[in-house]
Amino acid sequence: MSIILNIDTASEIAHVSFAKDGMIVEVMFSSSQKEHASFVQTAIQQLEKTTGIKLSQIDAVAITAGPGSYTGLRVGMASAKGLCYALQKPLIAINTLQMMAKAAIFQLKNVAKDLLLCPMMDARRMEVFTAIYKQDLQMVLKPCAIILNESSFNKEMHTNEVLFFGNGALKWEKICEHTNAHFRQIENDPTALSQLSNSHFVKKHFANLAYSEPFYLKDFQSINTNKKY
């Protein structure tokens, strides 16, 4: 049996959970992105109280490593690595887009088996973080940052229907007119992270604790507040 502490601070809604063998025992959410840093430690303490599970009992710590919010990714990675160092537990790093695709699989009903899954995270303006997966999570398009235009994904949609979802899909829907494009709201499902992290644990797919960093996909660009117009 595995007991894993799962931490996701990559997007607007963060969640922290304890899971046994991939099944959620208890989970806490935060919808305030600016408070993710304080939320993680508070949530862990509350989960210990409500579940009776102590940090000393866990077998690993799992984190959504990115892409996503720069600040959120740094907060999550720092928290996870600190716990792993202190507890001498392995670190499991999960790609955020893969987690989103897994959540879509849970929520899809009666869809064609060859429907491709395209999670999208808003990266400002017309840029998104995205990837494309088959429903067994085999990658068709590896995670990347792209600037959307009317011809985006034409190659993939030429032979397949594609489901686009995530907050980045909202702006893509406004300019996409391809008949093989479909759009749906997919909820942030903590079970997706818990099942992926358990699979990694069973296979002993652990991240290198010393060298693990957030998977940003592109360099951070700060806003110059001193610029004159």
Q: What is the pLDDT of residue 37?
A: 84
Q: Which helix (H) or strand (E) holds 197?
A: helix 190-203
On average, the pLDDT of the chain sits at 93
Number of CB atoms found within 10 A of residue 1's CB = 5
Instruction: State pTM to two decimals.
Output: 0.92
pLDDT in tens, 132-142: 999 999 999 99
Q: How confident is the model at residue 147 (pLDDT cuts 50, 70, 90)?
A: very high
Q: Which domains does the chain have, with CATH numbers?
A: 3-96+189-203 (3.30.420.40), 97-183 (3.30.420.200)
User: Mean pLDDT throughout 32-46?
Assistant: 90
Angstrom CA distances, 120 to 157, 158, 180, 213, stand at: 16, 19, 17, 21
Q: What is the pLDDT of residue 68?
A: 94
Q: What is the pLDDT of residue 36?
A: 83
Residues facing 117 on adjacent strands: 133, 163
DSSP per-residue letters across 24-60: EEEEEEE--GGGHHHHHHHHHHHHHHHH---GGG-SE
The answer, yes or no, to whether residue 225 has pLDDT greater than 90, is no
User: Mean pLDDT throughout 114-138?
Assistant: 96
User: Mean pLDDT throughout 41-54?
Assistant: 97
